[in-house]
Homo-oligomer: A and B are copies of this chain.
């Protein structure tokens, strides 16, 4: 018997991840995919949860693993999935985050305005598809939802996709927020296809409720934790300050990396040149720049950069009502005096805003339950539901951040 040629990867979350397909190996070996090693899955959340230093690459690999399991379950139940479709679904989920830039959601639309990671990701997939002789064609169709077997798209991107199952599971594993645990294995066992749509068997109702509640908990306790928010706002303010004071003759703002391009030359269009530069960018560029800018003569910039490096973050408060703008203005005046900057500049040191659970909104799509008698109901329509109307509304919380 020949020794195994399959690759197995140790994953602290799932045990072992098995890879036994050449296309999957080719994708993983690609520089675009390896770049995801250098992008933190949870941006700066590690400043609050020191274990949360896992990467986008690790998350994608985990989502791939769940996709393998999901497809295996569905096939065992008789779902019609060809070998090509199976490989394409696995390729698509591996690539679903390929377009993320430095610090993912935290800097999305800040560093590179006018585009998002899904759009960039699609451009990158097309490039890779060209390199790989068109082998990603079907994966791209599944990713964009154009393929006729809609449930395969729903596994990649839907209310109960393997992306969410992995990031919730992985994020609570690495943060240590054990309460956020979801029964991903049970949900996978309960998946079924009915009328071409992905659904959950009746016995899985409580697992799905639990999944939605875990998302809610992770959202407010982790993703929107006031200190996580504070650190991400600090990074955003740093980028905004650089943009404001940038001029091409100030070499101390440049770091001789593709990052310079996005301050100096980016026109707003993700053209070939921009994409080339983007594909070389990762968290390290930003963090290196922050370390350099900490020594920059601009006081606003250096104070913010030192703050981020040494974890002297904004004090942050969240509340249900907007903050009084006069109060904020007072704070700015004091900070302007303290740091010897203008009141206008002090906007970087004290400001308000609104945090919403948009990114992780509850119930914006339907999760359908398939009952034994063949009827289908939404998760909030079952008897004695936990998930009710108000939970599906967007929640706004007002925040104030200020240096102390």
Looking across the interface, which residue of chain B has its beta carbon closest to that of A320? B383
CA distance A295 to B182 in the complex (A): 44
Partner of A192, one of B1, B20, B185: B1
Contact A192/B3 with A10-B49, A50-B11, A287-B284 known, Cβ cut-off 8 Å: yes
Partner of A176, one of B15, B179, B386: B15
- Contact between chains at B11 and A257 (CB < 8 Å): no
* Interface residue ranges of A178-219 to B (CB < 8 Å): 178-179, 181-183, 185-186, 189, 192-194, 201, 206-207, 209-210, 213-214, 216-217
- Contact between chains at A178 and B176 (CB < 8 Å): no
A111 CB within 8 Å of chain B: no
CA distance A292 to B256 in the complex (A): 8
CA distance A3 to B189 in the complex (A): 11
Give every chain B residue within 8 A of A189 (Cβ-Cβ): 4, 8, 16
Partner of A179, one of B12, B29, B51, B186: B186
| Stretch from A134-142, A160-168, A267-275, A387-395 at the B interface | A387-395
From residue A316, how far is it (CB to closest CB) to chain B in Å?
Answer: 14
A384 CB within 8 Å of chain B: yes
CA distance A51 to B179 in the complex (A): 21
CA distance A210 to B79 in the complex (A): 34
Q: Chain A: how many interface residues by the 8 Å CB criterion? A: 85
A53 CB within 8 Å of chain B: yes
Partner of A9, one of B50, B53, B388: B50
Give every chain B residue within 8 A of A74 (Cβ-Cβ): 1
From residue A178, how far is it (CB to closest CB) to chain B in Å?
Answer: 6
Give every chain B residue within 8 A of A386 (Cβ-Cβ): 213, 216, 386, 391
- Contact between chains at B210 and A10 (CB < 8 Å): no
Residue among A221, A287, A288, A310 having the largest count of chain B Cβ atoms under 10 Å: A288
Closest 9 CB pairs of A and B: A12-B176, A179-B183, A288-B288, A10-B176, A206-B217, A31-B310, A50-B58, A12-B51, A179-B210
* Interface residue ranges of A12-39 to B (CB < 8 Å): 12-13, 15-16, 20, 29, 31, 34, 37-38
Partner of A217, one of B9, B210, B220, B257: B210
From residue A280, how far is it (CB to closest CB) to chain B in Å?
Answer: 7
How many subunits of this chain does the assembly comprise? 4
21 sample A-B contacts, Cβ–Cβ < 8 Å, listed by A number: A12-B175, A13-B176, A15-B178, A38-B287, A46-B55, A50-B61, A51-B58, A53-B53, A53-B58, A178-B185, A178-B186, A179-B186, A179-B206, A179-B210, A216-B386, A257-B288, A284-B287, A284-B288, A285-B291, A386-B391, A388-B390
A2 CB within 8 Å of chain B: yes
- Contact between chains at A209 and B201 (CB < 8 Å): no
- Contact between chains at B310 and A34 (CB < 8 Å): yes
CA distance A221 to B210 in the complex (A): 12
A173 CB within 8 Å of chain B: yes
Looking across the interface, which residue of chain B has its beta carbon closest to that of A17? B50
A372 CB within 8 Å of chain B: yes
A309 CB within 8 Å of chain B: yes
Residue among A3, A51, A284 having the largest count of chain B Cβ atoms under 10 Å: A51
In the complex, besides A1-B79, A2-B78, A16-B186, 6 extra interface pairs with C-beta distance below 8 angstroms are: A1-B74, A15-B185, A178-B185, A210-B217, A255-B288, A284-B288
CA distance A221 to B186 in the complex (A): 12
- Contact between chains at B372 and A3 (CB < 8 Å): yes
CA distance A11 to B52 in the complex (A): 9
CA distance A31 to B46 in the complex (A): 16
- Contact between chains at B50 and A57 (CB < 8 Å): yes
- Contact between chains at A51 and B10 (CB < 8 Å): yes
Looking across the interface, which residue of chain B has its beta carbon closest to that of A205? B220
CA distance A61 to B4 in the complex (A): 28
